[in-house]
Amino acid sequence: MRIKGKAGISVLWLSTCIGALTVVRPASADDGDAARAILSEMLAARKKITNVRCKADCVTWRSQRTQEAHYQHTLQRGISEEEAAKQKRDFVLDRYDFVFDSQGRFRVAESQGACDPNGKLLATDGTTTHAWNGAVSMELSEGTTKTGNIGTQMPLRVTLDNFEPGAAFGGVFCRILERVLSRKDEVQVRTQAGKYHVEIITQEGKARRIAVIDPLHGYTVCHYEYAVDGDRLVTWDAKFREVSPGIWYPIEGTVYTGAPDDPATSRFVRVTDVIVNDPNLNDTAFQIDFPEGARVFDTRTGLNYVVGDPLSQRVSGDSTSRSLREIAQEAMEEGLRAAEQGTAELSVPKAQLAVHRKAPFVLDLLSHELVNPGAQPRSKQAREYLVNVGKGDLAWDGRFVATRGARVLTAKKESSRPMKTFKGAWAETHELPRSIQLPYWMTIITKERIGYLLCVHSIEKAGVRVTYRRLTSDETKLYLESLPQTP
């Protein structure tokens, strides 16, 4: 698969290589009408495709002069010589995984790395994924670190136009021809061996584009050339396959920049796993599931956070902004100082013992009181009682029971030993880790959306002893935003 040059294949300008059709004549109205008819057929063929999934491997060879120019450009961007030198490669493999539809939505994952002349990957630089669902854009870069972005601006379509097979091999030319015809620039149409040769002449004759269009294979563009002032800038050839009745899609192509017999770069493209018009393709295909540990910047809210770390959230671009982890750490330190200064601990009795004694046992965080619902804290009877009196947030029956719709989070300090949460019919329960280390911290958001940071100091047969403090409204807001949404 060595693709340095196009040896053995004619690379002469089409106007000098099509035999009897080398006569150049002024464009006529008939040429314009013929070009419009051809364009109409091309667009009709493309409209048959509502969505596509495919993969593409692109092996690019770069000449020494191209590598040197790229190296100098990299240095000008402030990259170190050592890093810039790593980009000097004869062969590069770009591997794409595409999903896109006729509404303009897409997701494309791209990985790049050095390869041998046969396209065997030798080293990878990482993977970048872009997605656009029509309203929200997402981006994920995965290398030594993982970073993501969420916004409302559609990403530039440069990647799709250059490398998505249907756009690169014909789609872009359709748009150029449509634009040229609307401006009434010069267009010439010739026919040879059952194919149309459409030539576009712009810039007062300086720029010329020629496309060879095959009407028997869905009006696909099988050959394309672009030159300015007689210098060839781009040449490509493509092969198509009927992937569904009446639908042709590129499966292979070769692209040259510069003269094909002495190119600056040459790229061989192989397309696989093509699926068109999948009826089961849904909205989730055009979004990115950010992996745990990725730092995500959300321009819609101005916040950034680490996936899987609910306490990492902070305001982007604000040097004074504190993350939930920092807020929690500060609160823990304050709680420890208060404990050292003799702040009284509250005892929350074990529910079974308290019910038997008819004693109060549900802690109401706002009033620092214990409430007696007269039944086990996980029961319907206890829930109805506590909701009616409007008090009671936390109980202990060997597990913590969040009553009246309270929510509980493991504090960041305890993230390596989190609680297990069980959602019951009337209350959520939270089981402490088996290898519990005291003090143990948790955050509680009550039904009234008031936040508390609670510390468990001791666990005894009769119950647990705790201290806690109320979070500020800003701190509570950040905790609320990090909680999973309830149905």
pLDDT in tens, 466-482: 988 888 877 777 666 65
Counting Cβ atoms within 10 Å, is residue 236 exposed (0-12), middle (13-18) or buried (19+)? buried
- Asked if residue 241 and residue 387 are part of one domain, the reply reads no
How many helices (H) does the chain have, and how many strands (E)? 10, 27
Is residue 361 within 8 A of residue 355, CB to CB? The reply is: yes
Q: How many residues are listed for the chain in this entry? A: 487
Range of the domain at 452: 324-482
Last-in-domain residue among 254, 284, 314: 284
- Asked if residue 269 and residue 340 are part of one domain, the reply reads no
Q: Which of 22, 291, 332 lies closest to 146 in space, CA to CA?
A: 291
Beta strands 146-151; 295-298: pairing state: parallel
Tally of domains in the chain: 2
Residue 354 parent element (H or E) = helix 351-357
Tell me how far apart the alpha carbons of residues 358 and 374 are, in angstroms, rounded to a whole number: 7
Each residue's pLDDT, cut to its tens digit, for the chain (487 residues) gives: 434 443 332 222 333 233 333 333 344 568 889 999 999 999 999 999 999 999 999 999 888 887 777 777 777 777 777 776 767 778 889 999 999 999 889 999 999 888 888 888 888 888 999 999 988 999 999 988 899 999 988 766 555 666 689 988 999 999 999 998 888 778 999 999 999 999 998 877 788 999 999 999 999 999 999 999 888 999 999 999 999 999 999 999 999 998 888 888 899 999 999 999 999 999 999 999 999 889 999 888 787 888 887 666 666 665 555 665 565 556 555 555 554 444 457 889 999 999 988 889 999 999 888 999 999 999 999 999 999 999 999 999 999 999 999 988 887 667 778 888 898 999 999 999 888 888 898 889 999 888 888 989 999 999 999 988 888 877 777 666 655 443 2
What six digits make up the tokens of 45?
């063929």
Question: CATH number of the domain that 244 lies in?
Answer: 2.50.20.10
Tell me how far apart the alpha carbons of residues 71 and 104 are, in angstroms, rounded to a whole number: 35
Residue 72 parent element (H or E) = helix 64-76
The answer to whether residue 87 is domain-embedded is: yes
DSSP calls for 115-149: E-TT--EEEEEEEEEEEE-SS-EEEEEESSSEEEE
- Asked if residue 474 and residue 348 are part of one domain, the reply reads yes
Q: What is the largest CA-CA distance in the chain?
A: 108
The answer to whether residue 337 is domain-embedded is: yes
Last-in-domain residue among 284, 307, 335: 284
Q: Which residues contact 257 (CB under 8 A, 6 or more apart)?
A: 233, 234, 263, 264, 265, 266
- Asked if residue 195 and residue 120 are part of one domain, the reply reads yes
Cross-strand bridge partners of residue 127: 111, 142
Residue with tokens 């042709």: 248
Rg (CA), the chain: 33
197-248, pLDDT tens digit by residue? Answer: 999 988 777 889 999 999 999 999 999 999 998 889 999 999 999 999 999 9
Q: Which residues contact 428 (CB under 8 A, 6 or more apart)?
A: 401, 402, 406, 407, 408, 421, 422
The answer to whether residue 5 is domain-embedded is: no
- Asked if residue 411 and residue 280 are part of one domain, the reply reads no
The answer to whether residue 262 is domain-embedded is: yes
- Asked if residue 354 and residue 222 are part of one domain, the reply reads no
CA atoms within 13 A of residue 295's CA, in its CB half-sphere: 10
- Asked if residue 109 and residue 49 are part of one domain, the reply reads yes
The answer to whether residue 292 is domain-embedded is: no
CA atoms within 13 A of residue 272's CA, in its CB half-sphere: 5
Tell me how far apart the alpha carbons of residues 223 and 347 are, in angstroms, rounded to a whole number: 82
Residue with tokens 């002349």: 117
